[in-house]
Amino acid sequence: MKKKINIYVIFMIAAFFMGTMFPFAYSGVDTGLDQLKILVDVMGKIQDNFVEEKDAKDLVVGALYGMASQLDEFSEYISVEDMKAMREETKGEFGGVGMRLNSSKQGELIVVTPLPESPAYKAGVEPKDKVIKIDGRPVSEMKSDEAVAALRGEVGTKVKVELERKDEKTGKTSIKKVTLKRTKIIPEVVFSKMLEGDIGYIYVTDFSGHTVEGFEKAMQTLQDKGMKALIVDLRFNPGGLLDSAVNMSKLFIGDNKLIVYTKGRKEEFFKEYKSNPKAKYADIPMALLVNEGSASGSEIVAGALQDHKRAVLIGSRTFGKGSVQQVISLPDTSGLRITVAKYYTPLGRMIHKNFKAKNADETGGIVPDIVVPFEPAKARAATFYTTNLIYSPSKKTAEPEQAKAADPVLERAVELLKAREVLGNLNVKEDAKAK
Q: So which residues are the catalytic ones? A: 296, 307, 321
Torsion angle defined by CA atoms of residues 214, 216, 218 and 219, in that order, rounded to the nearest 10 degrees = 170
Q: How far apart are CA 318 and CA 369, in angstroms?
A: 12
Neighbours of 135 (CB within 10 A): 12
| Amino acid (one-letter) located at 94 | F
Q: How far apart are CA 47 and CA 1, in angstroms?
A: 10
Vertex 202 angle, CA 200 and 208, to 5°: 155
Q: How far apart are CA 349 and CA 241, in angstroms?
A: 21
Cβ atoms of 273 and 343 within 8 Å: the answer is no
Report helix angle 56-69 to 2-16, nearest 10. Answer: 30
Among 174, 165, 162, 155, residue whose Cα is nearest residue 97: 155
Q: Give start and end residues of each alpha helix (H) in 261-372.
A: 297-307
Torsion angle defined by CA atoms of residues 412, 415, 418 and 419, in that order, rounded to the nearest 10 degrees = -110
| Amino acid (one-letter) located at 19 | G
Burial class, 409, CB count within 10 angstroms (exposed 0-12 / middle 13-18 / buried 19+): buried
Q: How far apart are CA 389 and CA 235, in angstroms?
A: 14
Query: Cα(first)–Cα(last) distance of the chain, in Å?
Result: 97
Q: How far apart are CA 245 and CA 302, in angstroms?
A: 10
- CA–centroid distance for 76 within its chain: 17
> Which residues does residue 134 pair with via DSSP β-bridges, in sequence order?
137, 161
